[in-house]
Amino acid sequence: MGNTATHCAYCALQCAMTLTADAGGRVTVGPRDFPTNRGGLCQKGWTAAELLTSPHRLTSPLLRDDRSAPFREASWDEALAVVAAAIHATQAEYGQDAVAVLGGGGLTNEKAYQLGKFARVALRTKNIDYNGRYCMSSAAAASNRAFGIDRGLPFPLPDLAETGAVLIAGGNVAETMPPFMQHLAPVVDRGGSLIVADPRRTATAERATLHLPVAPGTDLALALGLLHIAVADGHADRAYIHDRTTGFDAAWRAAAQWWPERVERVTGVSVQAQRATVAALAAGARGRGAVVLTARGAEQQSKGTDTVTALINLTLALGLPGRPSSGFGCITGQGNGQGGREHGQKADQLPGYRKIDDPAARAHVAGVWGVDPDDLPGPGPSAYELIESLGTDGGPRALLVHGTNLAVSSPRGRFVAERLAALDLLVVSDVVLSETAALADVVLPVTQWAEEDGTMTNLEGRVIRRRRAVAPPPGVRTELAVLTELADRLDCKAEFSDDPETVYDELRRASAGGVADYAGIGWDRIDAEGGVFWPCPTTGHPGTPRLFADGFPTPDGRARFVAVEHRPPAEDVDAEHPVYLTTGRILQQYQSGAQTRRIPALAAEPHVEIHPDLAGRSGLADGDLVRVVSRRGDAVGRVRLTTTIRPDTVFMPFHWGGEQAVNRVTNPALDPVSRMPEFKVCAVRLERVPREAHAAPTATRGRRPRRVVGPDRLPSGAKELAPHEPTD
């Protein structure tokens, strides 16, 4: 037997755990004390090892011989030869940008870095982006323009327990990352305030001292109204605004139009609740501190960047960023959502969070890679825009997918499937046959979390170690090995390695001097210290757990207020589609469900939360099947009646594919800055599905003709942090 100290496979909390492998290869999970989880795990963490031996596991490359053929098993040599030949042929006929890459926020730093390098150096394509575009891109854009830097939390997570007030805009951490609640419970226990803005009274809102039931798509109006009250009622910290910020006057002129009564009419949040929110944050600012956190509810909108900006403006007016136990933060979702975007997967970035159109950045990274800076491509389109262009005239003809299930996770899902079908070549590297992999021409089986070494960067900006606990099944390769061999088959002259520590040391050199500087963070140091916060430019540097204490990384050292204006959702309700739809996660499932839906203990059924008043008007009863229909498509789930949601809104989780995929319904309208789709609000109607027509919803995984180019139980005594249980 052997014990391996590592971190969870799922969210950005990256809970610490110990994996124990017995002589037969069976792996069990035990919690490990760490600042983020403090010895707690959620259901997903406790059951994470079950996927290692899942019967759904891919262990051999899969190929289709022609457009109507089923998959057949192939050797690695044949599969990689097909992929390399197809890439050569596609680029010879259509140009280098005819091959595209989509990555994921769950890849290790090493894999994310190597994937970005592979796209720019081996493929020389501009067309690379990743599913983190759907995660916290709006918060990243807002943080960059306000603070000059983007790190999910600019302070260690345990600082939250010391603060006096927390506002969470659009986050339900009690279900999405239950151990997070251990850091919020002390705030309330010590007489402080926990305020949650959400259309639903979620498990997190149940634990709060105040719930703001904001109408979908009106978070920006609420944020402007809170700034209005902060200034008009005398809570603004004028000295802080004068000494540490710029742009206040323009931001105030925009917020001055949003008096409390107007905000109430637009958002549904009462004047009393608005004033109570600002009073609580102001009291915290004068006392133990105050923090504003955003998550996907506020961010996944076509105005998500401006919404987050308005909330940052509120924190600046109250004088919070840079003070102890205070400030603004974003609750990062994916396991490596932070590190995954820092080192080259994002369309406009190079390693170290460098801008790809910056000549100095290009020169530095090209020097590390041993290529001419002029040979590096420029910025490409965002994830959804890239998907829209697949198979079109002038668009990519081939797509390589790593660590994302875009057929389920992208908005306007039926259209996405059409674009994938229009490709000449779709290659998916994955652990299981996800809905996206099921549409592929070539599927490559790769290692998963407990079978590989590497690093992750959690929501705090803490770089931690992922350690190999077991050998992968025979026939499975690491993505580093796949990319290295493909680069060789494509006659790439730059060096690639399949050794993760070698790749990481190159990442350190490439990031040196960048905003996200990892140069001083070696594997040995992470092992010795249990994690190191970036930026950390030298081995003698202590790392940076807390940002902004001495200033902001802007040209003048000041944080920037940015004036923003409210606008309605891209698609509002009307007579034909009279109900708002919002989407999100549930406790048992994770992201597109490709992993968690294959773990029996996490079994859950897709449902649609509906207020009894709305259900009555719609002729629906608890347990009925209902079809949620938008202008783009429909999805089916079972009615769950609840008074915890607004009567004008329904909620559906997004973890399922087929006819249960709510992203067949959602709106791809994009934020003009972050290019984030508007997942969190669209207009729908509800149609009851006759029982005789549907005994039960079933997951479906379609297969379309294609053309190939080229040759519920936890372990005994387990401590699970569930939404409604005490967490301290």
Tens of pLDDT along 356-395? 999 999 999 999 999 999 999 999 999 999 999 999 999 9
What are the residue ranges in the chain where pLDDT is below 70? 1, 692-728
Do residue 304 and residue 341 come from a single domain?
Answer: no
SS3 275: helix
473 residue type, one letter: P
- Whether 591 is covered by a domain: the verdict is yes
CB neighbours of residue 469 within 10 Å: 22
Sign for the pseudo-dihedral over CA of 330, 331, 333, 334 = positive
Beta bridge partners of 2: 21
Tell the burial category of 714 from Cβ atoms under 10 Å away from its Cβ (0-12, 13-18, 19+): middle
- Whether 509 is covered by a domain: the verdict is no
Query: Do the Cβ atoms of 328 and 560 come closer than 8 Å?
Result: no
Indicate the number of domains in the chain: 3
Peptide bond into 553 cis (omega under 30): no
- Whether 314 is covered by a domain: the verdict is yes
Q: Give the global pTM.
A: 0.94
Q: Which pair of structure tokens corresponds to residue 556? A: 């003048």
Do residue 343 and residue 303 come from a single domain?
Answer: no
Do residue 311 and residue 414 come from a single domain?
Answer: no
* Residue 719: per-residue pLDDT: 40
Query: Do the Cβ atoms of 298 and 169 come closer than 8 Å?
Result: yes
Do residue 280 and residue 160 come from a single domain?
Answer: yes
* Residue 67: per-residue pLDDT: 73
Do residue 99 and residue 123 come from a single domain?
Answer: yes
CATH (domain of 363)? 3.40.50.740
Alpha carbon distance 565, 215 (integer Å): 17
- Whether 540 is covered by a domain: the verdict is no
Do residue 323 and residue 345 come from a single domain?
Answer: no
Per-residue pLDDT reduced to its tens digit, 549-606 = 999 999 999 999 999 999 999 999 999 999 999 999 999 999 999 999 999 999 999 9
- Whether 521 is covered by a domain: the verdict is no
Do residue 255 and residue 348 come from a single domain?
Answer: no
Do residue 129 and residue 261 come from a single domain?
Answer: no
Do residue 344 and residue 245 come from a single domain?
Answer: no
Angle, helices 304-317/137-147, rounded to nearest 10 degrees: 40
CATH (domain of 592)? 2.40.40.20
* Residue 720: per-residue pLDDT: 38
Do residue 106 and residue 154 come from a single domain?
Answer: no
Angle, helices 271-286/219-232, rounded to nearest 10 degrees: 60
Q: Half-sphere exposure of residue 402, counting CA atoms within 13 Å on the CB side?
A: 29
Range of the domain at 643: 579-689
| Residue closest to 723 by CA, chosen among 288, 73, 110, 201 | 201
- Whether 284 is covered by a domain: the verdict is yes
Q: Half-sphere exposure of residue 671, counting CA atoms within 13 Å on the CB side?
A: 33
Q: Which pair of structure tokens corresponds to residue 571? A: 């698609």
Buried b (16+ CB within 10 A) or exposed e, 18-52: ebbbeeeeebebebbebbbbbbbbbbbbbbbbbbb
Domain boundary among 498, 533, 556: 498
Domain boundary among 483, 498, 513: 498
**167 secondary structure, DSSP code:** E
Q: Which pair of structure tokens corresponds to residue 573? A: 């309700």
Domain boundary among 498, 524, 557: 498
The count of residues in the chain is 728
* Residue 691: per-residue pLDDT: 76
Strands 327-330 and 290-294: parallel
Q: Which residues contact 42 (CB under 8 A, 6 or more apart)?
A: 15, 177, 178, 179, 587, 720, 721, 722
- Whether 112 is covered by a domain: the verdict is yes
Q: Which residues contact 575 (CB under 8 A, 6 or more apart)?
A: none
Rounded to 5 degrees, φ, ψ at 641 are -75, 135
- Whether 531 is covered by a domain: the verdict is no
Alpha carbon distance 255, 537 (integer Å): 39
Alpha carbon distance 464, 188 (integer Å): 30
The radius of gyration of the chain from alpha carbons, rounded to an integer in Å, stands at 24
Alpha carbon distance 83, 597 (integer Å): 29
Tell the burial category of 692 from Cβ atoms under 10 Å away from its Cβ (0-12, 13-18, 19+): exposed
* Residue 221: per-residue pLDDT: 98
